[in-house]
Amino acid sequence: MSVKEGLTKALYIARKDMRVYYLKAPNFTYGLLMPVALYLAFSAAGNLNPGTLISGLVSLVVLFGSTSIEAVAVVMEKTNGTLERLLAAPVSCFDILFGKALAGFMLGPMTAVVVLVPVTIISNTSVANPLAVFVAIAVSSFTFAALGILVSVYAKWIPEAQMYSNFLRFPMAFLGGAFIPVETMPSLLQIISRLLPLTYSIEAMKEGMANTSVTGTYLLDISILVFFSIIIMIVSTKMLEKRLS
């Protein structure tokens, strides 16, 4: 099967997933309401500058939004028996999961814009490089969607998938620099934070909001997020292929 054929089928799967899963309740509760509520509670108690606040909030919305849809996307197909239909079709396991990740990837920027636009207007904050911020949102969105896929391929039931997702999301939210700047953390926690994709997502967004030109830190952050995406997608595909044997 050619790359074009595989990509075309992945897009059909993404469109189908958007139709089937976008309006599911967990996408609103976990994807939008929870990160906003969490952030408002912590920002009220802390003394964060608007740039840090907005980049942290947007990254959290993208993290929760993209992982929420993807954590249920594969596991729901398992419980409904529809995953077998995809596996029986002439589509590779990678293209199936890539299509699913695309659906989560497209949800991320939508929810991020819903949060970003009103927050920047209310806080009277300017975005120095909107394109760089958008690229950071898009790349983060794919990375987090891939992370949701990994959880979903592993889990057997939806509650199990949500449990694993939260197990990943909440430590990331606290250690990724959304509430507490990474530089102020103890050195051991700083090392751990450097292993988390959210850290790079927040950092890239901060860079895009503060600098009109693309910085080296921004490029490194984006590269690391792409690297995370590739590794997670490969591991998820291997796990799905193993399921067939």
Partner 1 sequence: MTITTSAIIATDLLKKYGSLKAVNGVSFTVGKGSIFGLLGPNGAGKTTTIRIMTGLTKSDSGSVSILGHDIKTDMIEAKKKIGIVPEASNIYEEMTAEQNLIFAAELYGVPSKERKKRAVELLTDFELAERSHDLVVGFSRGMKRRLTIACGMVHRPEVLFLDEPTTGLDVQSALALREQIRKLNKEGTTILLTTHYLEEADQLCDTIAMINRGKIVALDKPENLKASVTGSRVIELSFSGQVTEADLASIKDVIEVHRAGDKLRLIVGDAEDIIGEISDFARSRKLNITTIHTLKPSLEDAFLKITGLNPEDATKDKEPPKPRRNDG
Per CB under 8 A, the list member of 33, 89, 117, 230 interacting with partner 1 is: 89
Per CB under 8 A, the list member of 19, 123, 126, 170 interacting with partner 1 is: 19
> What character string, x for contact with partner 1 (CB under 8 A) and - otherwise, covers 202-241?
----------------------------------------
**Which of the stretches 16-24, 36-44, 172-180, 231-239 binds partner 1 when contact is defined by CB under 8 A?**
16-24
Q: Which of 93, 104, 198 minimizes the C-alpha distance to 153? A: 93
Distances (CA, A) of 130 to 32, 192, 203, 205: 22, 29, 15, 10
CA distance 166 to 182: 21
CA torsion sign, 225 to 231 to 234 to 236?
Answer: negative
Alpha-carbon torsion angle 173, 109, 5, 83, nearest 10: 50
**Whole-number minimum distance, CB 151 to partner 1, in Å?**
15
Q: Is 41 in the site for partner 1 (CB under 8 A)?
A: no
CA distance 17 to 96: 11
Closer residue to partner 1, CB minimum distance, 85 or 194:
85
Per CB under 8 A, the list member of 46, 84, 230, 234 interacting with partner 1 is: 84
Closer residue to partner 1, CB minimum distance, 94 or 134:
94
**Packing angle, helices 197-210 and 216-244, rounded to 10:** 150
CA distance 46 to 61: 19
Per CB under 8 A, the list member of 33, 37, 40, 79 interacting with partner 1 is: 79
Footprint on this chain of partner 1 (rule: CB under 8 A): 1, 5, 9, 12-13, 16, 19-20, 24, 72, 76, 79-82, 84-92, 157-158, 244-245
